[in-house]
Amino acid sequence: MKATKHVAFLAMLTTSVTNQHQDIHFDDVKLNVGNAYNPNHGNFIAPYNGTYAFFVTACSRAGHYVVLDFHVNNQVYDRIIVGEAPSFDACNSKTNIVSLRENDDVFLKHEIEGDVLKVGSHYERLFQRWPAFEKSNK
């Protein structure tokens, strides 16, 4: 029988972000199996080679928008764009499935587009990783 490594995390943002050029630190960690997510730096370090699935949910205030860049090793891999609904807050979710090598660094950053990543009583912005395909140990 093969043993399987498991890595999963669920983290939420507790403070709205209004600054550009800022890494997003999802500071309220609800789950961190394998301890690969670091809330102090807001990044996930791949513990082994494999295919990983990341899920992001973000919101912006009415009349505002935000663009978050999904980075792998300081390179933009994808973006999530949220907002600009004139009279109501807007949310969006995105999934990225990525092949990573051991020690690859994954994080979200609010670069130069948009202005508010909203957190409120009804919104808890999420950054999470669940198994896509698990690597077996021999």
pTM: 0.78
Taking only the tens place, the pLDDT of each residue in 19-68 is: 777 888 888 888 899 999 998 888 999 999 999 999 888 877 777 777 88
Number of domains composing the chain = 1
Is residue 14 one of the residues assigned to a domain? yes
Is residue 138 one of the residues assigned to a domain? no
Q: Which domain holds residue 95?
A: 3-133
User: Which residues are CB-contacts of 89 (< 8 A; sequence separation ≥ 6)?
Assistant: 59, 60, 61, 62, 118, 120, 123
CB distance 30 to 10 below 8 Å: yes
Residue 116 in this model has a pLDDT that exceeds 60: no
Is residue 23 one of the residues assigned to a domain? yes
User: In the prediction, which pLDDT does 38 show?
Assistant: 92
β-strand partners of 54 = 96, 129
Q: Report the CATH number at residue 22.
A: 2.60.120.40
CB distance 126 to 95 below 8 Å: no
Report, as an integer, the average pLDDT of 92-99: 89
